[in-house]
Amino acid sequence: MHPCSRGCALASAPGCLPRALPTSWHFSAREPAVRAEHPDPPAPADSASYSPRLRIVERGKVTSVGDGVVWIEGLPSARMDGIVRISDGSEALVFHLAPDRIGAILLTTTPALMPGCEARQSGDILTMPTGDGLLGRVIDPLGMPLDGGTAPDCSGRRAIEGDSPPIIARDFVDHPLYTGSKIVDTLIPIGRGQRQLLIGDNGTGKSALALDAVISQRDQNVRCLYVMIGQKRSSVVQTIDTLRTHGALAYTTLVVAEATASTGIRYLAPFAGCAIAEEWMNAGHDALIVYDDLTTHARAYRELSLLLRRPPGREAYPADIFYLHARLLERSTRLSAANGGGSMTALPIAETEQGEIAAYIPTNLISITDGQIHFDSKQFARGVLPAIDITRSVSRIGGKAQHEAIKREAGRMKLDYLQFLELEVFTRFGAKLEASMEARIRRGRLLRDILAQDRLDPHSALDQLAWLIACNEKLLDGLDDGELDTALHRLRTGAAGTGLTLDSPRTEWLTAVRGWLSTTAEQA
């Protein structure tokens, strides 16, 4: 009697199926999920070493295709995030497990894909090419080039999904990351390894500040990665041209999922970018990653979840939308010296509608990140640029990373500016104010004029310290708009050509600042 007690139909074969099969495997009289396949007949040269054996392979069948999602029956041992290869040449990523079938995101597709195609597990997971070979390149979330060049020359690959570093592997955020924005670098500082949210209505300058931050990393030994999710091709081209014009493309990688890309590709974009930046961090480098934007990403995930018939929750988002962004942003941190000392700073962007920051996705991201920079559409309409609402902006850990010289000069500046904004309300009603209040209002208006900044015009840290000292010493008081612009330009030019550093004594800085401003007065 054949040793198999299950009455195996292959009892006449030289081998037999294992005694204990996984309980999740199902058999069907019409389409068995597991088939035993004999290998091809051996070549004559190999006949002597050939021995009959069985090869067990799961075969599934595509039951439906549409909207970037494919449903497959007959792969009971499929796992989440595994890659499935279909007989027409398409590939899909397992994204949903049901008792009788799986739902998968189409990664690549051909016109021949249709119900009835055969599907098999590949045993692989989705990975991204990593390394410095990606610098200066524009790729899609699958690692394919979009800039017309050849495939990136990368020796390593990394899974797009991964665990965040454990607490014991992390270190304090104690090194500044300069964005080039006067308001941010002095009043809302950011440190390397921080997660700082840029939030505001559409068209208020969030992406412009992110680009300023990328441009400011020139000669700072920071590798940058810009993830564009669901944006128009014209916006993508404009961003690439801007980075190239300012010489920032050489140290930047762009991961682009255009608005015309499938829902699944748009969903994968931030995770693909995170994997690339995470590899740099683990190699001991400092990395900056911009997610532009996670509101669009949340909408893509909602669409994908509804297509896969997951139960909707608040605002029709699935219940795990918070976990989705938490596990993404939690991978940004600063590693300890024992783990390489690298860092990954994240600047996620979130869009609001009519300034409503209490919406579902904005509140989620605010609670996940280490602070937020809020852009106000009313300030933008009044021409106050950058339109950053300091009253709603905060950096919870960036102050620890701010350089001592800038921290000393900034001091109470944010508090004084907030008090000025409250006092300025009284001037709208024509109320008569005391002399001390009028002086504080004049001082606040001067500070607002100093903080004004054009788009894509980042300022260096030395320039920040120069105008801070001039402002605190009241060297800029009493200047009209034209004189103030001239004075600030002289300070910027002088700081760029000086041999002073942020660690130089304040007395030397004050002497230099007075000299630059006296030159301005003589020319006037």
Q: Which of 187, 189, 161 is nearest to 175 (CA)?
A: 189
Helix-strand-coil split of the chain, %, nearest 5: 40, 20, 40
Place of tokens 């991201």: 365
Place of tokens 């990664």: 107
Amino acid in position 482: G
Alpha-carbon distance of 438 to 165, in angstroms, equals 52
**Exposure letters 198-218 (e unless 16+ CB within 10 A, then b):** bbbbeebbbbbbbbbbbbbbb
Alpha-carbon distance of 490 to 465, in angstroms, equals 13
Kind and range of the H or E element at 71?
strand 69-73
Question: In terms of C-beta distances under 8 Å and separation of at least 24 residues, what long-range contacts does 219-223 make, across chains too?
Answer: 220/178, 220/286, 221/285, 221/286, 222/177, 222/192, 222/251, 222/285, 222/286, 222/287, 222/288, 223/132, 223/135, 223/251, 223/252, 223/253, 223/277, 223/280, 223/285, 223/286, 223/287, 223/288
Q: Count other Cβ atoms within 10 Å, centred on residue 168.
A: 8
Instruction: Check if the beta carbon of residue 290 is closer than 8 Å to that of residue 225.
Output: yes
Place of tokens 């602070």: 371
Locate 173 and state its tokens: 């955020």
Task: Please say if 223 is a catalytic residue.
Answer: no
Alpha-carbon distance of 500 to 465, in angstroms, equals 11
Pairing of strands 371-375, 82-86: unpaired
First to last CA, the chain: 110
Q: Which of 82, 37, 75 is nearest to 56 (CA)?
A: 37
CB within 8 A of 214, min separation 6: which ones? 224, 226, 243, 248, 252, 288, 290
Q: Which of 348, 338, 391, 355 is nearest to 370 (CA)?
A: 348
Q: Which of 407, 451, 458, 373 is nearest to 180 (CA)?
A: 458
Q: What is the CA radius of gyration of the chain?
A: 29
Place of tokens 């106000």: 376
Among residues 85, 157, 327, 396, the one annotated as catalytic is: 396
Got the DSSP string for 115-138?
TT-EEEEEEEE-EEEESGGGTT-E
Residues designated catalytic? 396
